[in-house]
Structure 1
Amino acid sequence: MIGCFAAISAAVAVAAGAFGAHAAPGPQEAEWLRTGGFYQLLHAIAALALMGSAKGPAIVLLAGSVLFALTLYAMALGAPQWLGAITPIGGTLLIGGWLWAGWIYFRG
């Protein structure tokens, strides 16, 4: 199931990046879409790579990237700017997922 979610997440990231490059209403919105798409795609690929050996961190990376990116996407599409206060929660999950994965590999 993680693989399916990661693949869908990657597809959404590519779509967001394409929308940002070709149809964003303004430069700030394009940047939000580009940033969200980059982080979401990067972490979807990381989750696919980790899911065999570090399933917990893979889930945390996916959850963090979706929360991070979706708040940016929402603002780019006209949602209230206060959603930007939620974006760092997703970033914190990303940092935690990477640290957890590192700990797993450190312990062997």
Structure 2
Amino acid sequence: MAKLYLLLAALFGGTGVVLGAFGAHGLRNKVAENLLEAYKTGVHYQMIHALALIGIALLIQQLGAKTSLIVSGALFAVGILFFSGSLYGLTFGGPRWLGPITPLGGALMIGGWIALFFAALGYSK
């Protein structure tokens, strides 16, 4: 599981840099300012949670594949897809039903942090 989360972190981190550069150079003056801000928010959260996935991978290597860590990583990964993905889709004129997907992705990310909290509670050295 640690390898999967590390691979996802690299994928999300790398695509986050590409999407951030594209947003800064390719979208300026091409989409409405509010959509550009939403796009930037998607990139920002994607990058934060890519780093969080690196942390989860390292914790799994150190502590073992505890359920709370596995759940945390899964929630971060799916949260990125839903939260950031829906914001990217809306920026490019995707269907309006993507709008309600964004807070669902945010809730998944929050759930990932809660699962990490429970992993920390169960940690003893």
Q: TM-score, normalised by structure 1?
A: 0.91
User: For the pair shown, which has the larger CA radius of gyration, 1 or 2?
Assistant: 2
1:37 aligns with 2:36: no
Gap runs ≥5 in structure 1: none
Q: Show the 5 A alignment for 1:1-108.
A: 1-24=4-27, 25-26=30-31, 27-53=33-59, 54-108=69-123
Per the TM alignment, residue 81 of structure 1 is displaced from its structure 2 partner at its CA by 2.9
The AA in structure 2 aligned to 1:66 is L
The AA in structure 2 aligned to 1:9 is F
Gap runs ≥5 in structure 2: 60-68
Which deviations, in whole Å up to 9, do the C-alpha atoms of 1:68-93 show, x marking residues without a partner? 00000011111123311111110000
The AA in structure 1 aligned to 2:107 is T
Cα distance in structure 1, aligned partners of 2:95 and 2:84: 15
SS of residue paired to 1:105: helix
RMSD (CA atoms): 1.3
Q: TM-score, normalised by structure 2?
A: 0.79
The AA in structure 1 aligned to 2:120 is Y
The AA in structure 2 aligned to 1:64 is G
Is the contact between residue 75 and residue 83 of structure 1 (CA under 8 Å) also seen in structure 2?
yes
Aligned residues: 108
Is the contact between residue 75 and residue 81 of structure 1 (CA under 8 Å) also seen in structure 2?
yes
Cα distance in structure 1, aligned partners of 2:35 and 2:80: 18
Is the contact between residue 13 and residue 41 of structure 1 (CA under 8 Å) also seen in structure 2?
yes
Is the contact between residue 10 and residue 44 of structure 1 (CA under 8 Å) also seen in structure 2?
yes
Cα distance in structure 2, aligned partners of 1:29 and 1:17: 14
